[in-house]
Chain A
Amino acid sequence: MAEIRFRIDGKEIVAKQGETIRSAAMRANIEIPALCGNGIVSRTTSCFVCVVKDVKTGRFLPSCSACPSEGQMIESDTDEVREMRRTALGLLLSEHTGDCEAPCTLACPAHARVEEYVRLGRQGKFEEALKVIKEKIPLPMSIGRVCPRFCEKDCRKNVTGEAVSINDFKRLAADLYYEKYMEEIPADTGKKVAVVGGGPAGLSAAYYLRLKGHSVTVFEQNPEAGGFLRYGIPEFRLPKAVLKRELEHFVKMGILFRCGMKLGRDFTLDSLKKEFDGVIVAVGCWKPSSMRIEGEDLALQGIHFLKGIAEKNWQNLDNPGKTIVVGGGNTAMDCARTALRCGGKVTIVYRRTEKEMPAEKAELAEAREEGVEFEFLTAPLRLREENRKKFLLCQRMTLGAPDASGRRSPVPVEGSDFEIEADTVIAAIGQKTSAPEGVVPDKRGNVAVSKDLSCGEMIFAAGDCVSGPATVVEGVAAGHKAADALAAALEGRKTEEPFFFNVSRGHWRSLAKEDLVFLRGDQVSDAPRVKPDFISLEERKSSFTELFPTIPAEKMMKEGERCIECSCTAKGDCKLKKYAEAYKTAPDMFQGAKSPCTVDNRHPLIIHDRKKCIRCGICVKTCAEVINKHILSAMKRGFATVVRTAFDEGLPSYCADCGECVKECPTGALDWKNKK
Chain B
Amino acid sequence: MAEIRRIKIGAASCGLAAGAGEVLSAFRKKNLSFPVVETGCIGHCYAEPIVEAELSDGSSVFYGQVKGDERSVEAILSLSEEGRFTVPEERRKLEKLLVTRLAGRIDPKDLEEYRANGGFSSLAKAFEMGPEQVIETMKKSGLRGRGGAGFPTGMKWSFLAAKKSAEKIMICNADEGDPGAFMDRSMMESVPFQVLEGMLIGAFATGATRLFIYCRAEYPLAIKHLKIAIKKIYEAGLNLLPGRNAPLEIVIKEGAGAFVCGEETAMIASLEGQRGQPRFRPPFPTDSGWNSFPTSINNVETFANVPVILADVDSFASLGTPGNTGTKIFALAGDLKYPGLAEVPMGVTLADIVYTIGGAERGSVKAVQTGGPSGGCIPAEAFDVKVDYDSLKALGAIVGSGGMIVIGKERCMVETARYFLNFTHRESCGKCTFCRVGTTRMYETMEKIVAGKGVPEDIDFLEDLGQKIRKGSLCALGQTAPNPVLSTLRYFRSEYEAHVKQKTCLAKVCSALCEVRTDEKKCIKCNLCRKNCPAGAISPEIKVDNSKCIRCNACIELCPKKAISRVAKTPVN
Please determine whether chains A and B interact with each other in the same assembly.
yes
Contact across chains for B275 and A634 when beta carbons are under 8 A apart? yes
Question: Contact check: which of A94, A617, A634 meets B441 at CB < 8 Å?
Answer: A94
Q: Interface segment, A85-93, A208-216, A308-316?
A: A85-93
Closest to A636 in B: B430
* CA distance in complex: A641, B277 (Å): 12
B residues near A634, Cβ cutoff 8 Å: 275, 277, 430-431
**Residue pair B430, A641 in contact (C-beta under 8 Å):** yes
Contact partner, A88, options B282, B434, B474, Cβ 8 Å: B434
- Determine if A44 and B431 form an interchain contact, defined as CB atoms under 8 angstroms apart: yes
Question: For window 398-446 of chain B, which residues contact chain A by CB distance below 8 Å?
Answer: 425-434, 436-441, 444
Contact-residue size bin, chain A (C-beta under 8 Å from the other chain): 35 or more
Q: Which residues of B contact A46 (CB under 8 A)?
A: 431-433, 474
Question: Do the beta carbons of A66 and B430 come within 8 Å of each other?
Answer: no
Is B437 within 8 A of A91, CB to CB?
yes
Point out the residue from A60, A67, A95 that lies within 8 Å of B471, measured CB to CB.
A60
What CA separation (Å) do A67 and B468 show in the bound complex? 22
Chain A residues with CB under 8 Å of B426's CB are 637-638
Residue A362 lies at the interface, judged by CB distance under 8 Å to chain B: no
Give complex CA distance A45, B429 in Å: 13
B34 at the interface (CB under 8 A from A): no
- Contact of A87 (CB < 8 Å), options: B277, B465, B474: B465
Q: Which A residues are CB-close (under 8 A) to B441? A: 91, 94, 590-592
Closest partner residue, chain A, to B258 (CB atom): A637
Residues of chain A with a CB closer than 8 A to B432's CB = 45-48
B379: Cβ under 8 A from any A Cβ: no
Pick the residue among B260, B280, B465 that contacts A62 (CB under 8 A): B280
At the interface, yes or no: B279 with Cβ under 8 Å from chain A? yes
Judged by a CB distance under 8 angstroms, whether B148 is at the interface is no
A663 within 8 A of partner (CB): no
**What mask results when residues 31 to 59 of chain A are scored 1 for a CB within 8 Å of chain B, else 0?**
00000000000011111110100000001
Q: Is B472 an interface residue (CB 8 A)?
A: yes
- Within A463-496, which residues are at the interface with B (CB < 8 Å)? none
Q: Are B282 and A47 in contact (CB under 8 A)?
A: no
Residues of A within 8 A of B275 (CB): 633-634
A638 touches which of B428, B444, B472 (Cβ 8 Å): B428
Max chain A Cβ within 10 angstroms of own Cβ: one of B258, B282, B434, B439: B434
Q: Mark A583-595, 1 if CB is under 8 A from B, else 0.
A: 0000000111100
Asked if A170 is an interface residue, CB under 8 A from chain B, the answer is no
- In angstroms, Cα B428 to Cα A395, docked, is 68
A94 B437 Cβ-Cβ under 8 A: yes
Chain B residues near A88: list those with CB within 8 A. 433-434, 472
Q: Which of B260, B426, B433, B444 has the most CB of A within 10 A?
A: B433
| A residues 609-663 in Cβ contact with B at 8 Å | 614-615, 617, 633-634, 636-641
Q: Given contacts A67-B282, A639-B430, are A592 and B436 in contact (CB under 8 A)?
A: no
Docked complex Cα distance between A168 and B277 (Å): 54
Cα distance, A640 to B429, chains bound together (Å) = 10
Contact of A92 among B277, B282, B433 (CB under 8 A): B433
Least Cβ–Cβ distance between A51 and chain B, in angstroms: 6
Q: Which residues 225-276 of B have a CB within 8 angstroms of A?
A: 258, 260, 275
A583 to chain B, nearest CB (A): 14
Evaluate contact between A95 and B437: CB separation under 8 angstroms.
Answer: yes
A62-B280, A87-B468, A88-B472 known; A48+B444 contact, CB < 8 A: no
Q: Complex Cα distance A95/B465, Å?
A: 16
- In the assembled complex, the Cα of A591 lies from the Cα of B458 at a distance in Å of 12
Residues of A with C-beta under 8 A to B258: 637
Q: Is A84 close to B, CB under 8 A? A: yes
Task: Tell whether A65 is near chain B: CB-to-CB under 8 Å.
Answer: yes
* Minimum CB distance partner of A635 in chain B: B275
A47 touches B433 (CB 8 A): yes
Residues in B with CB closer than 8 Å to A49 are: 433
Residues of A with C-beta under 8 A to B438:
87, 91
List A residues 50-82 near B (Cβ within 8 Å): 51, 59-60, 62, 65-67
Contact assessment for A51 and B433 in the assembled complex, using a CB-CB cutoff below 8 Å? no
CA distance A10 to B437 in the complex (A): 33
Chain A window 92-108, contacts with chain B (Cβ cutoff 8 Å), 1 for yes, 0 for no: 10110000000000000
**Structural contact, A592 and B440, CB atoms closer than 8 A:** yes
- A593 CB contacts on chain B under 8 angstroms: 440, 444
Residue of A nearest to B283 (CB): A67
Would you call A615 and B431 a contact (CB within 8 A)?
yes
In the bound assembly, the distance between CA atoms of A67 and B283 in angstroms comes to: 10
Nearest chain A CB to B442 CB, angstrom units: 10
- A151 to chain B minimum Cβ distance, whole angstroms, is 33
- Which of chain A's residues have a CB closer than 8 A to the CB of B279? 43, 45
Q: How far is the CA of A49 from the CA of B432 in the complex (A)?
A: 10
Contact assessment for A637 and B280 in the assembled complex, using a CB-CB cutoff below 8 Å: no
Q: Nearest CB to that of B430 among chain A residues?
A: A641
A641-B468 contact, Cβ under 8 Å, with A45-B280, A590-B441, A592-B444: no
Nearest CB to that of A69 among chain B residues? B282
Chain A residues 566 to 593 lying within 8 A of chain B, measured CB to CB, are 590-593
A65 to B472, CA, bound (A): 13
Question: Which A residue's beta carbon lies closest to that of B442?
Answer: A592
B residues 511-552 with Cβ under 8 Å of A?
none
Within 8 A of A (CB), among B440-473: 440-441, 444, 465, 468, 471-473
Across the interface, do B472 and A60 meet the contact criterion of CB distance under 8 Å? Answer: yes
Which of A60, A92, A637 meets B429, CB within 8 Å? A637
B430→A637 contact, CB < 8 A = yes
Q: Which residue of B428, B429, B434 contacts A48 across the interface (Cβ within 8 Å)?
A: B434
Give every chain B residue within 8 A of A87 (Cβ-Cβ): 434, 438, 465, 468, 472
Known interface pairs A84-B471, A634-B275. Does A639 touch B280 (Cβ–Cβ under 8 Å)?
no
Separation of A2 and B96 alpha carbons in the complex (Å)? 52
CA distance A84 to B429 in the complex (A): 21
A44-B431, A640-B430 are known contacts. Are A615 and B280 too (CB-CB below 8 A)?
Answer: no
**A92 vs B439: C-alpha distance in the bound complex, in angstroms?**
12
In Å, the complex CA distance between A94 and B438 comes to 10
Q: Mark B463-487, 1 if CB is under 8 A from A, else 0.
A: 0010010011110000000000000
Q: Which of A48, A633, A636 contacts B472 (CB 8 A)?
A: A48
Check if A92 sits within 8 Å of B430, measured CB to CB: no
| CB-based nearest B residue for A95 | B437
Q: When chains A and B are docked, how far (Å) is the Cα of A84 from the Cα of B438?
A: 12
User: Are B468 and A638 in contact, with the CB atoms below 8 A?
Assistant: no
Q: For residue A62, which residues in chain B have a CB less than 8 angstroms away from its CB?
A: 280, 474
> Among the interface residues A45, A617, A633, which one has the most CB atoms of the partner chain B within 10 A?
A45
- Which A-chain residue is minimally distant from B278 (CB atoms)? A45
A624's nearest neighbour on chain B, judged by CB, is B274
Q: Taking the nearest CB of chain A, how far is it from the CB of B194, in angstroms?
A: 33
- Say whether A615 contacts B474, CB under 8 Å: no
Chain B residues whose C-beta falls within 8 Å of the C-beta of A45 in the assembled complex: 279-280, 431-432, 474
Across the interface, name the chain B residue whose C-beta is closest to A638. B428
Bound-state CA distance A336–B425 (Å) is 64
Evaluate contact between B434 and A91: CB separation under 8 angstroms: yes
Complex formed: what's the CA distance from A67 to B433 in Å? 21
Selected contact of B436 from candidates A44, A65, A591, A615, CB within 8 Å:
A615
> Which 5 A-B pairs give the minimum distances between C-beta atoms?
A641-B430, A65-B280, A91-B437, A638-B428, A639-B440
Interface on B for A, CB 8 Å cutoff? 258, 260, 275, 277, 279-280, 282, 425-434, 436-441, 444, 465, 468, 471-474
Known A91-B438, A637-B428; 13 more pairs at CB < 8 Å: A44-B431, A46-B433, A48-B472, A66-B280, A84-B468, A95-B437, A590-B441, A592-B440, A592-B441, A615-B430, A637-B430, A638-B428, A641-B429
- 28 residue pairs A–B, Cβ–Cβ below 8 Å: A45-B279, A45-B474, A48-B474, A51-B472, A62-B280, A62-B474, A65-B280, A66-B280, A84-B468, A87-B465, A88-B433, A91-B433, A92-B437, A94-B437, A95-B436, A591-B441, A592-B441, A615-B430, A634-B277, A634-B430, A637-B426, A637-B427, A637-B428, A637-B430, A638-B426, A638-B427, A639-B425, A641-B431
Measuring CB to CB, which residues of chain A are less than 8 angstroms from any residue of chain B? 43-49, 51, 59-60, 62, 65-67, 84, 87-88, 91-92, 94-95, 590-593, 614-615, 617, 633-634, 636-641
